[in-house]
Chains A and B, each alone.
Chain A
Amino acid sequence: MAGHISLQYGSKQVDKKTAREPLLVRILLITVALAFLFLFLLLPLAAIFIKAFEQGIGLYIASITDPDAVSAIKLTLLVVVLTVPLNALFGITAAWAITKFEFKGKSLLVTLIDLPFAISPVIAGLVFVLLFSTHGLFGDFLFQHDIKILFAVPGIVLATLFVTFPFVARELIPLMQAQGSAEEEASLTLGANGWKTFWLVTLPNIKWGLLYGVILCNARAVGEFGAVSVVSGHIRGLTNTMPLHIEILYNEYQFSAAFAVASLMSILAIVTLILKNIVEWKSGQHG
C-alpha cells in the first residue's frame, strides 16, 4: 500500500512505447513547461538572491543579524515549535477518530477540518480579534486576569494553529482509510492494548504520511502572513514574525535587507522541498 495517496502517479508507469507522442509535440510541451517554470519560479527565486546581495555581503549579514531580524527569526521558530507538534497531535487524533470509528457528526467534523482552507487567512485573524480584543467576547475576562493574547505571542500561535491545522489530518485521513483497521484488530487479538497497538502498529504504518503532513504544516507555519498580520500588532522585536518583518523592511524602502530575510525564508522553503521529496521517495519505497 502506498504511503501517500497523492503520490501514486509516480508508480503508475505507462508503457512508454505505446504512449509515445510525436517528437514535435514532445519538444513543444517540454519547452512550454520549462519556460513557465523558469519565468514564474526560477527567475523570482534568483531575483530574491540577486537583490539580497546587491549591496554586498556585509549588508546581507548585517540585515539578518539585526536585533529585530533575529527576534523575528526566533519568534517564527517558536511559533513553528509550538504549532507543528500540536497540529501533528491534532491531525493524528482527528484522522484516528474519523477513520476507525463510526459516530454522529462525522461528516461535519471532516468539513470543519477543511474550514481553514476555505476561508481567507485575514478572516481567520479577525475571528481572534473578535474573540480576544478588549471589546471582544473574552475581552473583559482577559483584561481582569491580565492575560495578553492579541498583539502578543499567544495570538500569533493561535492564528497559526488555526491556519495550519488541516495539513496533517488531510494527509492522514485518506491514508488511514486505505489501510483499514485489520492490522490494529490483529494486534488487539494478540493481546496488545490500545496504546501499544498505536505505537507498534498504527504509527509505523502512517509515519511517512505523517512526516509529509508535518513538512507541509511546517512550511505554512513559517510563511503564514495574513492571519498573523491581523493579530500580531507589528511590534518590532516583539511580535513580528519573518514575513511581517520582511513587509516592514520593504515598506521602509530597505529592499536589500528585506530580500536578505526573504532569502533566508527561501532557503527554508527549498530545504522543505528537498525533505518533502525524500519523504515521498522513502514512502514510495516502503509502500
Chain B
Amino acid sequence: MSIQIKEVSKTFGSFQALKNINLDIQTGELVALLGPSGSGKTSLLRIIAGLEEADNGVILFGNEEMTHIRTTERKVGFVFQHYALFKHMTVFDNVAYGLKVRSKRERPSKKDIKRKVTELLSLVKLESFADRYPSQLSGGQRQRVALARALAVEPKVLLLDEPFGALDAKVRKELRRWLRRLHDEFHITSIFVTHDQEEALDVADRIVVMNEGRIEQIGSPEEVYEQPNSPFVYDFLGNVNVFHGRLENGKWRNGDQSDAEQQALAYVRPHDLVIEREKPTEDAVQARVMHVHAVGRTVHIELKEEGAERFLEAELPKEQYRELDLQTGETVFIRPNQLKVFIPADYSI
C-alpha cells in the first residue's frame, strides 16, 4: 500500500509542528523519518496513523483518502517507543488482542486465533513466552511482542515510533537487523521514526531528513550521506568539520572572511581529512594534534586549527596512523580530500 502525504500542516497551540509536508511512499518501501527531537517526525507518523489529526492537508493510502478516517479503521500497525503492551494481559493475549476485538462477523475462530498467534510468536522467537506477562520480559522481548501484536491484524502499513529508542545499544543493533530481514520477507510498507542517524542509514531504503517541521532532504542512505543538500543534513548525518572561508572564482579558500559577500563554509567528513607532515599547498591549514583515540580499526584524531579556536576531527585507518607516527602536541598540515561548500544565508553564522 503506497502512502501519499499532501500539504500536511499541524500546530500544537502556538507551536507549528509540521509545515506543509509533501511525501510519497511507495508500496513495500522501508522509510526512515530522521530528525532531532521537535522536528515533527513523530507528529507526522501519528497523523499517518490517525492518532492526531492534521490541521490541513490530505493523507492517501493507495487511492483511498484517509484524512478523516478514524485510527480504528485505518488498518495500520503501530509500534510505540515504550512498547505500550497491555500489562494485565499475557504475551499471548497481547498478540491476540487485535483479532479478538473484531466484530463477531470478522473474528476468526478460537482455533485460528491460536494458530495465528503461535505463528507470530515463533516469528519473533518468543513461542515459549506465551504465558508470561510483559513485566517478566526484557526490553527487546517486549518490543518483539509489540511487533507481533501489530502484525497480527495484517496491517497494510507498519508505523514504528522510535522502536528501538529505549533499548541498549547491542539489542538495538540486533533488533534493527531483524526488522530489516522481516521487511525483506513480508514487504509491508513501513515507516519508522528515529533520531539515530546510524539506525536510519543501516535499515532504511529511503531516508526523509526532517528539521523544524519541514522535510530537509529525501533520498537513499548513500544520497543523504554523500550528497547532503544543506548544512543541517550534513551536520545531522555523521560527524563533520566546518571550515570558515570564502569563495574565489568558484574555488574555496580557508580563512580570511574580510569580504562578507563571499563568505562560505566548507563541510568535510572526518574520514575525508588528510593529515600531512609536509606543507602541501601555500594555504594549507595548520593544526595541532590534541588527542588520539586509537581503539578499533580507525583512529580518531582530535586537532586544533592554528589561529582559530576550532577543534577538528579526523579519522585514519590504523596502518596510515602508524606510518605517520603522530605525536600529541605536534603540528601538522591538513587537507580536505572532499568538501562541500555552503554559502550561509545568514551572515551571523
B49 interfacial by beta-carbon distance below 8 Å = yes
Contact with B along A137-166 (1 / 0, CB 8 A): 000000000000000000000000000000
A188 pairs with B71, CB closer than 8 A: yes
Contact with A along B98-135 (1 / 0, CB 8 A): 10011000000000000000000000000000000000
Q: Which residue of B lies closest to A185 (CB)?
A: B51
A56 interfacial by beta-carbon distance below 8 Å = no
- With contacts A188-B51, A191-B101, A193-B72 taken as known, whether A182 is within 8 angstroms of B153 at the C-beta atoms is no
CB distance from B349 to the nearest CB of A (A): 37
B149 pairs with A190, CB closer than 8 A: yes
B87 interfacial by beta-carbon distance below 8 Å = yes
- With contacts A1-B87, A182-B82 taken as known, whether A189 is within 8 angstroms of B51 at the C-beta atoms is yes
B97 interfacial by beta-carbon distance below 8 Å = yes
B71 pairs with A189, CB closer than 8 A: yes
> Within the complex, which residue of A183, A196, A204 is in contact with B101, where a contact is CB–CB below 8 Å?
A196
Interface residues of A in 117-140 (CB under 8 A from B): none
With a cutoff of 8 Å between Cβ atoms, the chain A residues found around residue B75 in the complex are 191
A185 pairs with B97, CB closer than 8 A: no
B84 pairs with A190, CB closer than 8 A: no
Interface residues of A in 181-230 (CB under 8 A from B): 182-183, 185-193, 196, 200-201, 204-205
| Centre residue among A1, A186, A187, A200 by max chain B CB count within 10 A | A186
B101 pairs with A189, CB closer than 8 A: no
| Number of residues from A at the complex interface, CB < 8 A | 18
Q: Which residue of A lies closest to B81 (CB)?
A: A182
> Within the complex, which residue of A186, A193, A286 is in contact with B88, where a contact is CB–CB below 8 Å?
A286
B311 interfacial by beta-carbon distance below 8 Å = no
A188 pairs with B84, CB closer than 8 A: no
Contact with A along B66-106 (1 / 0, CB 8 A): 00001111111110101011111000000001100110000
With a cutoff of 8 Å between Cβ atoms, the chain A residues found around residue B82 in the complex are 182
A186 pairs with B72, CB closer than 8 A: no
Q: Give the contact-size bracket for chain B.
A: 20 to 34
CB distance from B46 to the nearest CB of A (A): 9
Cα A251 to Cα B87 in complex, Å, equals 55
B84 pairs with A200, CB closer than 8 A: no
Cα A159 to Cα B310 in complex, Å, equals 73
Cα A1 to Cα B82 in complex, Å, equals 13
B88 pairs with A190, CB closer than 8 A: no
With a cutoff of 8 Å between Cβ atoms, the chain B residues found around residue A1 in the complex are 87
CB distance from A47 to the nearest CB of B (A): 45
Q: Which residue of A lies closest to B75 (CB)?
A: A191
> Within the complex, which residue of A186, A193, A286 is in contact with B78, where a contact is CB–CB below 8 Å?
A186
B150 interfacial by beta-carbon distance below 8 Å = yes
B84 pairs with A186, CB closer than 8 A: yes
With a cutoff of 8 Å between Cβ atoms, the chain B residues found around residue A189 in the complex are 49, 51, 71, 74, 76-78, 150
Cα A80 to Cα B70 in complex, Å, equals 40
| Interface residue ranges, B against A (CB under 8 Å) | 49, 51, 70-78, 80, 82, 84-88, 97-98, 101-102, 146, 149-150, 152-153
User: 9 A-B pairs, CB-CB below 8 angstroms?
Assistant: A185-B80, A190-B152, A191-B75, A191-B101, A191-B153, A192-B72, A192-B97, A205-B87, A286-B88
Task: Kindly list 9 other residue pairs between chains A and B, CB separation below 8 angstroms, not including A186-B86, A191-B153.
Answer: A183-B87, A186-B80, A188-B51, A189-B150, A190-B150, A190-B152, A191-B101, A200-B86, A201-B86
| Nearest 8 interchain pairs by C-beta | A190-B98, A182-B84, A192-B101, A189-B78, A186-B84, A204-B88, A188-B71, A196-B101
